[in-house]
Structure 1
Amino acid sequence: MSVSSTPSNQHGNSSHSTGSGDHGRWSTRRIAMYALFVALAMAVSFIEIPLMPAAPWLKYDPSGIVCILAAFAFGPSGAAIVSVLGFVPHLFVNPLGALMAILVALGASLPVAFIFRKHPTRAGAVTGILVGAVVALAAAIIGNLFITPLYAHMTMQQVAMLIVPVLLPFNLIKFAINGIVSFLCYKPICSLLNRQG
């Protein structure tokens, strides 16, 4: 991907900025890269690992990492495309769960994309990940309150009682894993995309 000149000049760190994915015409290569990230998000979304025995419907999958990396590499448009299309297969199996997964993925990835585009540094990356985690956590809690009762045969009050002992720790672990892995991987992936651009 080509480097956005304005942020790079301001921070002197062009290797961190691939936010130009949101500018200019849509090239065949860009579409292919988006498709690759969408396919990867789809594939890993089927890796489901239950973390909380008290809530077996809560399962961790690494798709959030792919969405965040797309935010770093391609900016807001890439983050949105991967976060939505990456869960399309689940819409046919569990539409309500897929809807909640999309909301959480957007909440985690879009703040990263917007913040990192303006501040393409390690500090900007960390800030984006942290803000995204907070937004995604709010989306996850609200989504569980309103969506989980529709398919898990639980009342909203029962779900609310699980917020502190189950939902918060599960999501904190999930976002910690996604954030750490994304932070460790974003720079080499962005550099690789830049070299190929």
Structure 2
Amino acid sequence: MNNVSASSLRTRYLVRVGVLGALGFALMFLDMPLAFIAPPFMKLDLSDVPALISGFAMGPTYGILVQLVKNILNLSKTSTGGVGELSNFIVGSGFVLVSSLFYKRDRSMKSALIGVIFGVMTMSALAMASNYFVVFPLYAKLMIPMETIINMGKAVNPNIDSLGKMMLLSVLPFNIIKGAINGLVTFMVYKKVRKYL
């Protein structure tokens, strides 16, 4: 009987993952650049909110699965050859994993807040590492030269004259802002939607 219940619960959770993943994908269309800090190809959206809600409500694994579904769906409309989706998945999964692990230990507002703070820190560190070593070099190899990418950053901030400075002066603050906004929106809606999960 317990096996049937566990199987039924998993099935319900996976259905919710599909719905939340589709919602995350839809939210990717409602994006905007942060022109004061990042080049135009880096855009702010709220697509991490469904994954964070899933992580809080059902556990870290399901939050990461929502990130996976969202990015697989986004491959159908991408112009980045999958590079942007890889970056989004790595960074978003780190954010959701750390945030929801904290909340899983102690389901309180304080724990959720601490989790999101550490989640944003993880997200930002992963963004710098993955973009420096993997994503930007892949962009440069498949799409546009690295010099062009750096010049796009320099157009936003004249102090950006290398990939390392782009990570510190653009990628880092962009991800801190993105994570903080996604975390704030999650706090605003979580209690209202939790009962449906």
TM-score (norm 2): 0.78
1:57 equivalent in alignment to 2:41: yes
* Structural RMSD (CA): 2.1
Name the residue aligned to 2:21: 38
Name the residue aligned to 1:149: 137
Name the residue aligned to 1:18: none
Q: In structure 2, which of residues 168, 190, 194 is the aligned counterpart of residue 190 of structure 1?
A: 194
TM-fit CA distance, 1:26: 4.2
Q: Which has the higher contact order (CA 8 A, sep 6+)?
A: 1
1:149 touches 1:159 (CA, 8 Å); kept in 2? no
Q: Which moved more, 1:28-37 or 1:118-127?
A: 28-37
Distance 2:69 2:8 in 1: 17
Name the residue aligned to 1:134: 121
1:91 touches 1:99 (CA, 8 Å); kept in 2? no
Distance 1:154 1:48 in 2: 24
The letter for the 1-side match of 2:129 is I
1:113 equivalent in alignment to 2:100: yes
1:90 equivalent in alignment to 2:87: no
1:73 touches 1:189 (CA, 8 Å); kept in 2? no
TM-score (norm 1): 0.78
1:48 equivalent in alignment to 2:31: yes
In structure 2, stretches of 5+ residues that fail to align are: 151-160
In structure 1, stretches of 5+ residues that fail to align are: 1-22
The letter for the 1-side match of 2:95 is A
Name the residue aligned to 1:25: 7
The letter for the 1-side match of 2:121 is V
How has the CA–CA distance of structure 1 residues 75 and 60 changed in structure 2, closer, same or farther, with 3 Å as cutoff? same
Name the residue aligned to 2:110: 123
Q: Which moved more, 1:147-156 or 1:34-43?
A: 147-156
